Amino acid sequence: MAACGEIFYMDDKKTVVVTGGASGIGEATAHRFARAGWQVVIGDINEARGEKVATQIGEAGGACVYVKLDVRAADAVQEFAETVYLQCDRVDALVNSGGILQNAVRTIDLDMDEFDQIFAVNVRGTMLVNQVFGRHMIAAGAGSIVNMCSLTTFRASPQPAYAPGKAAIKSMTETLAAELGPKGVRVNAVAPGYVLTPAMQARIDEGKRDPGAVIERTAMGRFVRASEVAEVIYFLCSEGASAVTGTTIPVDCGWLVSTAYGAYASQIEDAT
């Protein structure tokens, strides 16, 4: 492995950049790509966690570095990309997993400072990263981008900042797919259901999420695992998805279909 300052680069390996890679789905995604032999660059605002994940991947035999990133700031995103491309000839895949959650609140009671913060990270941050790395991928004539949507992309939710933001990311994904496709760049998104990440567990522990209600409303009767979302993300960046672009794939243990079906379930006999 050739060392290049704080970043590594190997010509025979593919490179993936994972924003929000210090925890949750982003962390699981970083591990998934590393196990497949990709070299991984984690961008995250949490230095301690980012460095820990990079170290864990390295100890497991993978190639991973952490670079601090605040997706809210255009200058920071540009500097992050310059750091990566200064020492890596190409980025084969970009996974935008950086984001923050929101607890339930009625729209008329929403604190607009919270709205601005969520949009700054989830929507504007995703756009900034897509713009900067998208330009480089256009120049290279190849690349794959995966954005992070949510079940709230498709259903109403008492999260009046988070949900509209995730709907915006679906639209962003489709627009980018149309614009970048002729340049050889694919753009897709995943829409995770209720994933038992540390952030979700913290909300359960605080009494802000009801795990029983979540499980009851899924077809498979359980939470999604972060590793399962990572598998779909990896697929979308692989040659196996070479004809897939502009799509948003739910990874939700059947929550979307179960909640719709449940409106009529009392009218039929249980098939079991």
Q: How many CB atoms neighbour CB 136 within 10 A?
A: 16
Sign of CA dihedral 221, 29, 98, 233: negative
Q: Which of 201-234 are b and which e, b meaning 16 or more Cβ less than 10 Å from the residue's Cβ? A: eebeeeeebeeeebeebbeeeebbbbebbbebbb
SS3 call for 194: coil
Reading the block at residue 53, the tokens are 């994940």
The backbone torsions φ and ψ at residue 198, rounded to the nearest 5 degrees and listed phi first, read -55, -35
Residue count of the chain: 272
Q: Is 264 a catalytic residue?
A: no
Between CA 94 and CA 188 the distance in angstroms is 11
68: which strand partners?
44
Instruction: Name the catalytic one among 162, 234, 261, 264.
Output: 162
Catalytic residues: 162
